[in-house]
Structure 1
Amino acid sequence: MANVILADAELIPRASISQVVLDWATGTDENDFELTIEDQTAPAISRGWYFWLDGSDVGGRIIDRRVTVSAGQSTTTWIGQSWTGMLAAKILQPDANQDYLTVSGKLPDVVRGLLKRIGLDAVFTVDSSDMSTVSNWVFQNPRYVDAYTGLRSLLASCGRRLDFQAADNKIHLDITPIRTITNAIDSDLVDFKAETKHRVTNHLIGLGSQELKDRLVSHWYADAAGNVSQTQTLTGVDEVCEIYDYTSADAATLKSETQKRLQEEQIGGTVDVTLTDSAGDGLRVDDKVTASDHASGMSVTATITKRIVKIESGIMTSTFEVGQGIMKETESGR
């Protein structure tokens, strides 16, 4: 049975209860929760309080409530932001008179500085020994970005992700290498449906600012394996060309965004992936899972985009959602 810690606005624990109904989510969207307290011994709580499950990433800050009255019975549901929702409610932006927000240094120090910048350093304690560094990393596309999305992008550039854990009455934020779960996954744990698509764009022409002969142009190419560069290898009947219209882009932005857009199109098809609880154990948002079907020679790698935790009748369950998978085929499966 999961015990829920209730803490006041200063993060000081006030009670540990088990009779709750919880619907909590973290990831690409939602990043919120609904908590109904059914324990009659629970203290009176209010907006601004926190809750968490010790030793896990499940928790957040209460910001609102919903009261439902039915057959003379009143039920209060507390609504709030998960830890990632608190980050998503803040914006990383350039300093005054600066084009971009730029950061450098060891990742733990950079994250501490960004948390202080958005006023959440009193909530989250960065507790990481990761020695990865960034040099002049620029928040540029977009320039104004919510802190959760910005931090995910920053850490992903180093193969890292955020990892939250409530312990010792603190909310620890660790920087952890992105995991790829592969050989341990078999068809009993991962269901997927994959459809190949080889006629994806492999030549993208980015069109930026200015007009006519002065208009900025950036050409990017993908090879048969989906690798993107400015060298063309697929020509003639194998070339699939497309225009990327970005009329406000300067030369540097046009170059980077055209490359990024073409890379996003190299998915090789459409993929739906379903994880069981057994396969998802220990996975977090931005981790990856790979599954293979030996009969067809098809292999799928998908990124975890959302984690949903529910508690009802004392039982906790976790489910996962994944983004668009990347698919590969062996020659035998063609």
Structure 2
Amino acid sequence: MELVYTDPIGKELGYILNANVDMEIGEDEKSSINDFEIEFKRSGWNGTVEFGSQVYVPDTEYGGIVREVTTSTKANSITVKGYTWRGMMTKKIIKPEKGQDYAIASGEINEIIKGKVEEAFPGFFYGVVEDTGIQLTNYQFDRYCTLHEGLRKMLQSVGYRLEIKYIQGDKYEMGYVQVRAVPIVDYSSEYEFSNDQNMNFTMDDNKRGVNHLVCLGKGELKDRLVIHLYVDEKGNVGQTQYYRGIDEIEETYDSSGSEYDDLLKNGIAKLTNSKNKTEYDMTMEKIEGSMDIGDIVGGRDYLTGASMKKPIGRKIWTISAGKEKVEYKLEGES
């Protein structure tokens, strides 16, 4: 992939060469996600990438606007940084109309997206006139959610995801960011990735988690508030015991002074974090086709029989010392 850069008014100037690139995009809105860094050696810096410059790979989501320049004589580097296009959407808020408790939307989903993104980024972000056949009536956004999270959750509720990509303009014209709804695709049945296909994944299938949590609240000795929480065979947390004998794994949760409601709420959170879990990490040099954030993928280790199936949560594109890599993180991975 080749990274184009422009001047501050969007005129294309050329390609970024001889630089290290780190660009991360994803559905999670943590501060370290949906931004980019491009590091130049000081000897290779010509000053043409500046505040307001756009950087992008045409027809992909990789890109953003330079909003920070860091220089280090010790590291012999100059680094430009900014939010990706998706990151810019995390910095806009969907607000209720005056006198209303929630922001509400009705209509075809691409029509709703078009209205929201063009209002937030006039003249730069555009929706599409493309009828998906999916109509919503009085869809209720979470109060003061971000534009990205609001649209993402709206689409997820109907089996769709956001597609974001930069459309390159003519030679002397500025391009624009296009946002639209596309169906979530489950590729796990069509492809099964393994280490035979230039893919590496790790899977930690941990079945030694806690399945019985004794929660201790206010009171003393025999008068102390006690709540027993259990995990069932499907991983749900409740107050009916499933695992017994050698399969029962117990711990206590001491929250002295807690009333019943707080003890129950915090105990459920504690047990959810301590129960059996399966964690995945997946890395590929390249995935052919149109798989993207929100689509579902699968993988298998034929030696152990370990397999996984989960949505793609993040993509990290890096160029380091001239070597390019795309790393895929599954939903919920740190």
Distance verdict in 2 for CA 1:101–1:40, change over 3 Å: same
Q: 2:283 maps to which residue?
A: 275
RMSD between aligned residues:
4.2
Q: Distance in 1 between matches of 2:124 and 2:79?
A: 23
Q: Structure 2 CA distance, aligned partners of 1:192 and 1:270?
A: 10
Q: Answer yes or no: is 1:127 the counterpart of 2:134.
A: no
The 1:224/1:238 distance shift into structure 2, 3 A limit, reads same
Work out the CA distance in 2 between the residues paired with 1:185 and 1:275.
14
- Conserved 8 A contact 2:114-2:179: no
The one-letter code matched in structure 2 to 1:115 is V
Distance 2:316 2:81 in 1: 15
Does the CA-based 8 Å contact 1:15-1:43 persist in structure 2?
Answer: no
Q: Percent identity?
A: 21
Q: Which ranges of structure 1 fall in alignment gaps of 5 or more residues?
A: 202-221, 248-260, 326-334
> C-alpha distance in 2, partners of 1:269/1:41?
47
Q: Indicate the SS of the match to 1:111.
A: helix
Give me the whole-angstrom Cα distance separating, in 2, the residues matched to 1:93 and 1:226.
36
Name the CA distance, whole Å, in 1 between partners of 2:128 and 2:324.
27
- Letter in structure 1 aligned against 2:25: T
Give the 3 Å change call, closer, same or farther, for CA 128–308 of structure 1 in structure 2.
Answer: farther
**2:194 pairs with 1:187:** yes
Q: In the TM superposition, what are the counterparts of 1:222-261 in structure 2 within 5 Å?
A: 237=242
Question: Any unmatched runs of 5+ in structure 2?
Answer: 169-174, 212-230, 249-259, 263-268
CA gap 1:200/1:26 in 2 versus in 1, 3 angstroms: same
Shift of 1:276: 2.4
Q: How many pairs are equivalent?
A: 287
Alpha-carbon distance, 1:171 to partner: 2.1
What are the Cα deviations for residues 207-236 of structure 1, in whole angstroms up to 9, with x where unaligned? Answer: xxxxxxxxxxxxxxx9966799xxx9x966
**Local SS of the residue matching 1:56:** coil
Which of the numbers 14, 30, 33 marks the counterpart of 2:36? Answer: 33
**TM alignment of 1:65-144, pairs within 5 A:** 65-70=69-74, 75-117=77-119, 119-127=120-128, 129=130, 130-140=132-142, 143-144=143-144
Aligned to 1:256: none
Q: Using a 3 Å threshold, how does the CA distance of structure 1 residues 200 and 91 change in structure 2: closer, same or farther?
A: farther
Residue 176 of structure 1 pairs with residue 182 of structure 2: yes
* 1:55 equivalenced with 2:65 (yes/no): no
* Deviation of 1:99 (Å): 0.1
Partner of 2:5: 6
Q: For the structure 1 residues 53 and 97, does the alpha-carbon distance in structure 2 shift closer, same or farther, using more than 3 Å as the test? A: same
Kept in 1: contact 2:71–2:78 (CA 8 A) = yes
For normalisation by structure 2, the TM-score amounts to: 0.69
Q: State the match for 1:214 in structure 2.
A: none
Q: Residues 290 and 35 of structure 1: is their aligned pair in 2 closer, same or farther, counting only changes over 3 Å?
A: same
Report the equivalent of 2:146: 146
Once the two structures are superposed, the pairs formed by residues 158-173 of structure 1 within 5 Å of their partners are 158-168=158-168, 169-173=175-179
Q: How far does residue 312 in structure 1 lie from its aligned partner after superposition?
A: 3.4
More strand by share: 1
Q: What SS class does the counterpart of residue 55 from structure 2 fall into?
A: strand
CA contact (8 A) 1:7 1:51 kept: yes
Q: Give the SS at the match of 1:154.
A: helix
Q: Distance in 1 between matches of 2:121 and 2:282?
A: 35
d(CA) in 2 for partners of 1:182 and 1:128? Answer: 30
